């Protein structure tokens, strides 16, 4: 039987029992932690306090597979697979817009490391077919998993270490080839391996991958920075800081964002599998970590590697499989429209352009349709301004601070979202 290799400082595996001692953050939680009969709920999580509120019940999800969740950013659907009350393996799709839960029996293959392409609006994953590692697409309507390719040389997968570059359609994960760990980049359309540099050489160990689709596209992870002069007799190990790094997909090398900033430090530092995600709109790395002193929900500024917030979690603040609702970012950044809408309604606004962009004072809307209302949102989805005064199709934006914004335009024939920059 094939073994899946785990990173030694990862905390969680399969979540049947036990626990680990703007954009909306979601996770899974039970009313009684560790219960084998009470189903999970999808909860919204306040990163500032660690508190959570039930949004939608899963109805029958008892055990969730670690790292086997993703989020449909086009239609605001939380997705995962796990076991129901009858111990059947099911694909769960929770519609967070309409508050509807559906579950579909999986076929013979159950993918791990599920990732969603924000631009192509497709879900992907990995699975072992008994002889080789497969990469394929997951049909969220039927639960059917279709292989795109066999990945040669991949003997095992490091759980909790995959992400997706939606700009180029590249699936990224850490795998094992023989006795070497490699950073794999896979073309999602063809399943071909683009790059697979050997990593974790000369003590250069990182994991907890997340991809930032802004800023030209950057891969981040947590690096184990061990102080070999600081040994604990109590814990029988060295003090280690987990620091944010940027990772080169071609060479597999990592570079500290700031070597002095630590996401978590201690003699027993770690992060929870399924306990990390990335807020694309505000470019914030979010991770649930712990050390010998407690558990924390950290938000990290990827430009500096510094903590924005550090929230101590209590025994009541447990949740699993974190996902950020990046739907507003994805729809505006990639100019998408929900598949639940009438596409013809938005076609009339498809050619709307904004200029000059970037701007410092005014923004002109070029449209053949009459714009009836506009709304400006910040990069993290906060409402900035809404108005029906758009007769001259020129908006004054000199009151905005420099940064990225999204402009939603509505006409009698639909709506469209556009990104603009104030400098």
Q: Where are the domains of the chain?
A: 24-330, 341-422
Q: Would you say residue 136 has pLDDT above 60?
A: yes
pLDDT bin (cut points 50, 70, 90) of residue 135 is very high
pLDDT at 383 over 70: yes
Interval 385-395 mean pLDDT = 83
Q: How far is CA 2 from the centre of its chain?
A: 27
Q: Which residue has the tokens 């013809």?
A: 344
Q: Is the pLDDT of residue 209 over 90?
A: yes
* Model pLDDT, residue 348: 58
- pLDDT bucket at 215, cuts 50 / 70 / 90: confident
Average pLDDT score over the chain = 86
Pick from 265-269, 291-295, 413-417: least confident:
413-417
Q: Given pLDDT bands bounded at 50, 70 and 90, which one contains residue 65?
A: confident
The CATH classification number of 341-422 equals 2.60.40
Helix, strand or coil for residue 10?
strand
Nearest 5 degrees, angle CA 209-CA 213-CA 215?
Answer: 110
CA dist 61 → 89, 100, 190 (Å)? 9, 14, 33
Give the C-alpha separation, 319 to 49, whole Å. 13
pLDDT tens profile 7-57: 333 333 323 223 322 568 999 999 888 888 999 999 999 888 888 899 999
Give percent above pLDDT 70 in the chain.
Answer: 90
Q: pTM (2 decimals)?
A: 0.76
Q: What is the pLDDT of residue 408?
A: 82
Q: Give tens-digit pLDDT for 138-148.
A: 998 888 899 99
Q: Which residues of 218-237 are buried (b: 16+ CB within 10 A; e: fewer)?
A: bbbbbbbbeeeeeeeeeeeb
Q: What is the pLDDT of residue 1?
A: 37
Which of 122-131, 261-270, 383-392 is the least confident region?
Answer: 383-392
Radius of gyration for the chain, computed over Cα atoms and rounded to the nearest angstrom: 22
Asked whether residue 419 carries a pLDDT value surpassing 90, the answer given is no
For the stretch 84-117, pLDDT in tens is 999 999 999 999 888 899 999 876 778 999 999 9
Tokens 């630590």 belong to which residue?
Answer: 262
Tens digit of pLDDT for each residue in 303-361?
999 999 999 998 887 889 999 998 888 877 887 755 444 333 345 566 788 888 888 88
Q: Determine contact, residues 195/219, Cβ cutoff 8 Å.
A: no
- Contacts of residue 75, Cβ cutoff 8 Å, sequence gap at least 6: 95, 97, 327, 338, 339, 340
Q: What is the pLDDT of residue 337?
A: 59
Q: What is the CATH number of domain 24-330?
A: 2.120.10.30
Q: Between these two residues, 382 and 251, which has the higher pLDDT value?
A: 251
Specify the pLDDT at position 328.
80
The predicted model gives 261-268 an average pLDDT of 97
What's the rounded mean pLDDT across residues 206-235?
96
Q: How far apart are CA 18 and CA 66, in angstroms?
A: 13
Distance, CA of 316 to CA of 51 (rounded, Å): 8
User: How far out from the chain centre does Cα 315 lie?
Assistant: 24
Q: Mean per-residue pLDDT for 252-256? A: 96
Q: Tell me the H-state helices in 64-145.
A: none
Distance between CA atoms of residues 112 and 128, nearest Å: 9
Residue entry with tokens 């990945």: 151
Q: Which neighbouring-strand residues pair with 114?
A: none
């Amino acid at each position: 039987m094939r073994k899946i290799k785990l990173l030694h400082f990862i905390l969680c595996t399969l979540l049947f029992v036990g626990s680990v001692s703007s954009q909306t953050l979601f996770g899974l939680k039970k009313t009684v932690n560790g219960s084998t009969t009470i189903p999970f709920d999808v909860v919204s999580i306040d990163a500032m306090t660690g508190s959570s509120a039930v949004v939608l019940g899963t109805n029958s999800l008892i055990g969730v597979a670690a790292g086997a969740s993703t989020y449909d950013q086009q239609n605001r659907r939380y997705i995962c697979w796990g076991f129901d009350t009858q111990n059947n393996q099911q694909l769960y799709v929770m519609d967070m817009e309409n508050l509807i839960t559906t579950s579909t029996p999986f076929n013979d293959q159950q993918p791990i490391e599920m990732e969603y392409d924000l631009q192509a609006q497709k879900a992907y994953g990995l699975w072992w077919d008994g002889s080789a590692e497969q990469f394929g697409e997951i049909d969220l309507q039927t639960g059917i998993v279709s292989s795109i390719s066999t990945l040669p040389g991949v003997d095992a997968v490091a759980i909790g270490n995959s992400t997706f570059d939606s700009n180029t359609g590249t699936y990224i994960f850490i795998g094992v080839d023989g006795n070497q760990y490699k950073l794999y980049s896979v073309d999602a359309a063809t399943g071909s391996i683009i790059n697979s540099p050997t990593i974790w050489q000369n003590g250069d160990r990182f994991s907890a991958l997340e991809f930032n689709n802004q800023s030209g596209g950057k891969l981040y992870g947590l690096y184990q920075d061990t102080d070999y002069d600081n040994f604990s007799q109590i814990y029988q190990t060295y003090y280690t800081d987990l620091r944010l790094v940027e990772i080169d997909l071609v060479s597999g090398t990592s570079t500290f964002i700031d070597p002095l900033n630590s996401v978590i430090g201690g003699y027993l530092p770690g992060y929870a599998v399924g306990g990390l995600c990335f807020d694309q709109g505000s470019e914030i790395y979010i991770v649930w970590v712990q050390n010998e002193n407690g558990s924390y929900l950290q938000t990290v500024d990827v430009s500096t590697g510094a903590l924005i917030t550090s929230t101590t979690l209590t025994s009541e603040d447990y949740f699993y499989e974190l996902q950020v609702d990046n739907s507003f970012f994805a729809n505006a950044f990639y100019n998408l429209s929900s598949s639940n809408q009438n596409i013809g309604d938005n076609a009339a606004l498809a050619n709307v352009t904004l200029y000059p962009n970037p701007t410092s004072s005014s923004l002109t809307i070029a449209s053949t349709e009459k714009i009836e209302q506009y709304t400006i949102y910040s990069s993290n989805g906060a409402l900035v301004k809404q108005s029906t005064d758009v007769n001259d199709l020129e908006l004054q934006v000199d009151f905005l601070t420099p940064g990225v914004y999204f402009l939603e335009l509505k006409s009698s024939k639909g709506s469209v979202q556009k990104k603009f920059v104030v400098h």
